[in-house]
Amino acid sequence: MAEPARSVADLIVECLENEGVTHVFGIPGEENIRLVDAISRSSIRYVLARHEQGASFMAEVYGRLTGRAGVCSATLGPGAINLLLGTADATTNSTPLIALSAQVGMNRSFKESHQGVDLVSMFAPVTKWSALVATPGKMPTLVAPGAALLLVLAPATVTVPVTAVVEPVSVMT
């Protein structure tokens, strides 16, 4: 019997686990619920925050105190923008931090949407690396080798469009 296809969310969580991540700070929402669900089935603890900005500062302080990457997550649009201040603070303090957010699905990217924000451009000045994973097929090249790339470049932010988080991904082992 074939194994069920893993989603991008499962791959992200597996990678974070392999790098020793134990906590993710954030707020669940419709667009990132698959990631939150994948975290709930892992050894990683999802710490609920009252506001995305608080989640980013929680992750920043976690990284500062432990020396390991603090990880925060948010939904798309304004939720993701709220991660910006804590991420910028992590950069100024040379604190390892990974910010994960959802993004408007690629099928809505050129249509008017109040949730569609160019997060890559917004986060680029305050991180060492900011990227958009536009299709699930690109995720293995980013995640499969391990989150070590992110941890070396931290603070870093990765935005994951909602369609990519939902879709299955093929990973060569």
**pLDDT greater at residue 151 or residue 4:** 4
Predicted model pTM: 0.83
Q: 143 Cβ partners below 8 Å, 6+ apart?
A: 8, 11, 12, 15
- Residue 161: band (very low, low, confident or very high) from pLDDT cuts 50, 70, 90: very low
**Residue 43 falls within a domain, yes or no?**
yes
pLDDT at 50: 96
Residue 109 in any domain: the answer is: yes
Domain-embedded: residue 1: no
Scanning the structure block, which residue is given the tokens 């798309």?
A: 76
Number of domains in the chain: 1
Provide the terminal-to-terminal Cα distance of the chain, rounded to the nearest Å: 18
DSSP for 9-65, please give it: HHHHHHHHHHTT--EEEE---TTTHHHHHHHHTSSPEEEE-SSHHHHHHHHHHHHHH
pLDDT band at 145 (very low <50, low <70, confident <90, very high): very low
CA 135 to centroid of chain Cα atoms: 15
pLDDT tens per residue across span 22-67: 999 999 998 889 899 999 999 999 999 999 999 999 999 999 999 8
Give the domain extent around 37.
Answer: 6-167
Question: Residue 89 belongs to a domain with what CATH number?
Answer: 3.40.50.970
User: d(Cα 140, Cα 88) in Å, to the nearest integer?
Assistant: 27
pLDDT bin (cut points 50, 70, 90) of residue 97 is: confident
* Sequence letter at residue 124: A
Q: What percent of the chain has pLDDT over 70?
A: 68
CA nearest to 34, candidates 6, 56, 61 = 6
Task: Tell whether 23 is covered by a domain.
Answer: yes
Residue 172 resides in a domain: no
